[in-house]
Structure 1
């Protein structure tokens, strides 16, 4: 099954470049950078194109980290291909920057993952720690009921973690 979206987390030291979206979906929430996979485009081509369009950053290398899928109430499965891009700590990119898509800003990883942080897209704190921890590929799945995450699963070849909420 081809997933419709991509997402990229650009990491510089202990910070990640996030976008606070101007429009729905997820308006006013901090999220990674990404978008819709176009016809005749691979998901890697899509994520590199979307990062350049939304940030002006041209990435020469991205690390594929797996897929993130979800079910919302009774709607069909949807999802995205997840990428991590590491840039050197010396990488110069001053923020905040106002763009057509929203505001870009470097955010400390501990701030992004803080349990009290309500301004970051809610599913990030579930899968981002796995993406940052190792170079393994995971398949992540979330089940939402009435806008709440009720289940999260992370599958890797030799590992599975499932939690109900």
Structure 2
């Protein structure tokens, strides 16, 4: 997990990611971003769909979502301070704990991504900075993501 030091998620724990560069496919982008933000070299990730959001009535963004596993014997000592924020391993129970107020919207969709082999469009509606609605709609499988 990454506790971001810049807006808009400053001080909030979230997954690692970033922007797709011109000419990149989403999978290429996420592998590059993981390497840039963590230094962890991965060769494969699993596509899990998209997360989109509407803020105060306007569609303002979206992202492709992926899962990755590092080998069980992989050593990566945290916490680590980076240009993006603080990297640290977190247990799923900590991420999903109802009293954890320092998480991004992962608590809404993380279990579905971990436990369900299907891909979804996870849709958020924000009003006044809070999640007003969330839904997950099944997606068709993507071949070239």
Q: In 2, Cα distance between the equivalents of 1:115 and 1:29?
A: 15
Equivalent residue for 2:110, pick from 125, 128, 146: 128
Q: Secondary structure at the match of 1:106?
A: coil
Determine the C-alpha separation between the residues in 2 that align with 1:46 and 1:25.
21
- With the length of structure 2 as denominator, give the TM-score of the two structures: 0.92
Higher strand proportion (structure 1 or 2): 1
1:49 maps to 2:49: no
Deviation of the 1:78 alpha carbon: 1.3
Superposition deviation, residue 76 in structure 1: 2.5
1:72-123, Cα deviation, whole Å (9 max, x unpaired): 00223410000000122221111001111111000010000111101111x1
Alignment of 1:1-165 (within 5 A): 18-121=1-104, 123-156=105-138
Poorly superposed stretches of 4+, deviation over 6 Å: none
User: Over residues 109-165 of structure 1, what are the superposed CA-to-partner deviations in whole Å (9 max), with x where a residue is unaligned?
Assistant: 0000111101111x11001111111221111101011011111111126xxxxxxxx
Flag structure 1 segments of 5+ consecutive residues without an equivalent. Answer: 1-17, 158-165
Q: Distance in 1 between matches of 2:71 and 2:79?
A: 19
C-alpha RMSD of the superposition: 1.3
- Tell me how far apart the structure 2 counterparts of residues 93 and 72 of structure 1 sit (CA, whole Å): 36
Give the TM-score of the pair, scaled to structure 1.
0.81
Where do 5+ consecutive residues of structure 2 fail to align?
140-145
